[in-house]
Amino acid sequence: MPSKHSVELMQASGRLPFSLVVLLGLVTAIGPLSTDMYLPAFPILDHDLGGGPGSAQFTLAAWFAGLAVGQFSSGPLSDRFGRRAPLMGGLLIYILASIGCAVTANFHLFCVFRFLAAIGGSASAVVPRAVIRDIATGRDGARIMTQLTLVFGVMPILAPSLGGVVLAFGSWRYIFWIAVLYGLIGCAAIALMLPETLPQARRVRLPPIAILSRYLLVLREPHFLLNALIASASTFVMFAYIGGAPVVFEHLLGFSPAQFAIFFGINAALFIASTQVSGWLIHRMELETLMQFGIAWCACAGLLSVGLVASHIVTAATPLAIGALIVFMTGSLGFIGGNATVLALHHHGAHAGTASAMMGTLQFSIGSVSGLIMGFMPADSIIPTFCVMALGPVMMVAANALRRRLSPGP
């Protein structure tokens, strides 16, 4: 494990070794892994767990809700006990709850285990961002965040394909045993490789009421709130796509799990490409400019998609056009989420864990709403999926307008 001296060198240079970037990316990838790997199994889950048609959407909503709740506590815990201990503790909860998902035959218990797994797994979303904030800020922080996105962004490409392979050779339950194995490997890697980036002198011991006060303090700061809402709207679009894609492609278009996984992987690869283009432009343009470009792109994509689908120019009979519209909209998100996150956390180095947790709570709370909406939507049309996705850019434009009016700074 790197020494305290090496941590000080990292802070002085504003850089993380590539091995740690890979580790943090793979840890953060627990979220995409647990979200995307079982998407091809949605139709089978509806049948095997007895929840009825479309019920798998609610298991996804339970996962997103657990991430929102878990991040609310993960941040203060990481500010109090350091970065390593809360991360490993969260992964242990994730492992145990994933075992529950693998063995239960009851739909409601499955939702409970998904919720608990997300509470534990939420630390994997909060702590890596706090670690990056401990080491670097500004452009250096944005550069590391972009590298992190590249590493964990590979998981949405691989996860559905892996899920499809598992379904081709065995039960959907093996998907969750793979998640258990991934969590165990993650715990071992953290124990061996991740240094403690929050020294004792900077740790904060606070009673619950004081923790709540810190959250409210962060939330009341317009610069944080408006950038966080923009990032959350980006998450809303992605979650609406994730929740609606199995219905659109497997149920309406008749894709096999393998075909669905291929499309999902292609779209994820293009999303990563847009994220890397954004990262390349960071040293040439302002973060705010890149973010606003992404917002304008997403708004145009949303307007075009809803217009073409509602007018029946694009229908289930034109699968290539459906795929193109989805790629056009999700491609814009690479310019929004990461840059909005860095801008939101910029002034909160003294309590990066709390601010990062508040950020994650907002993102997954708002994102989980899309899953709930999709669960109640009819599964016989492509229109609901595109309409729900289009709500995201509406939120982005509104938050950005308030941001420019109330918080003109970076």
- Please report the pLDDT score of residue 19 as a whole number: 81
- What is the phi-psi region of residue 30: left when phi exceeds 0, alpha when psi lies from -120 to 50, beta otherwise? alpha
- Please report the pLDDT score of residue 410 as a whole number: 46
pLDDT in tens, 323-343: 899 989 988 998 998 889 888
- Please report the pLDDT score of residue 138 as a whole number: 66
pLDDT per 10-residue tile (average), the chain, 410 residues: 59 70 85 84 84 78 86 80 90 97 93 95 85 74 70 69 85 94 93 84 76 83 90 90 81 79 80 82 85 95 94 88 91 88 77 75 83 75 90 95 72
Spatial distance between the Cα atoms of 336 and 198, rounded to a whole number of angstroms? 28
- Candidates 234, 243, 359; CA nearest to 297 is 234
Residue carrying structure tokens 């909060």: 126
- Please report the pLDDT score of residue 211 as a whole number: 77
CB 407 within 8 A of CB 226: yes
Stated pTM of the model = 0.74
Helix or strand holding residue 72 (H, E): helix 56-81
Dig out the tokens for 343 from the structure: 């801008």
Amino acid symbol at 247: V
CA neighbours closer than 13 Å in the CB half-sphere of residue 3: 3
Spatial distance between the Cα atoms of 322 and 302, rounded to a whole number of angstroms? 13
Spatial distance between the Cα atoms of 246 and 54, rounded to a whole number of angstroms? 10
- Please report the pLDDT score of residue 279 as a whole number: 77
- Please report the pLDDT score of residue 199 as a whole number: 79
Helices (H), 171-286: 173-193, 208-220, 222-245, 257-281
- Please report the pLDDT score of residue 353 as a whole number: 66
- Please report the pLDDT score of residue 376 as a whole number: 75
Domains within the chain, CATH numbers bracketed: 18-406 (1.20.1250.20)
